[in-house]
Amino acid sequence: MATQAAAVDLLMNKGEFEPQVALAVAEAVAIIMTETQVVTVPVLDSRVAALDHKIDLVESRLEKKIDVVESRLEKKIELAVARLEKAIAVTSATMKAELATTKAELVRWVFVATVGSVFLQGMTSAIVNGFMRH
């Protein structure tokens, strides 16, 4: 109300308005200012501050959710790695056992082939010697 009185005084003294005209102009300006809801810098600053606060809250919540998801994924990855390592160990053991069996079988076949070769060589020599004596 003090502002309106100052405006009426300014209109009457400097603008040389009649008191009733000055009062009407001041009231009209007051009504227009009230209805237009002019946004002042302090009001805008408070709204921006409130928005900043909301953004900070959302960011904090999002970071927490990201941390939870990251933790879950790390656990899943660790579990998958452990399973793969176990599967690799089992497969490696199986392959080593099969390789040992294959080596043993190969040694037997080489031995049999060597014995057979010696036997055949001896037989061939005996046959050749038998033909040469007659």
Confidence (pLDDT) at 121: 93
Minimal CA–CA distance to 73: which of 100, 87, 65? 65
pLDDT of 1 reads 62
Q: Which two tokens mark 55?
A: 């953004």
Using CA atoms of 78, 81, 85, 90 in order, give the dihedral in degrees to the nearest 10: 100
Residue segments in the chain with a per-residue pLDDT below the cut of 70 = 1, 134
Place of tokens 């076949």: 109
pLDDT of residue 108: 95
Assess contact for 23 and 10: CB atoms under 8 A. no
Give dist(CA 111, CA 52) in Å, integer: 86
Q: What is the pLDDT of residue 36?
A: 79
pLDDT at residue 14, rounded to an integer: 86
The CA distance from 53 to 47, in Å, is 10
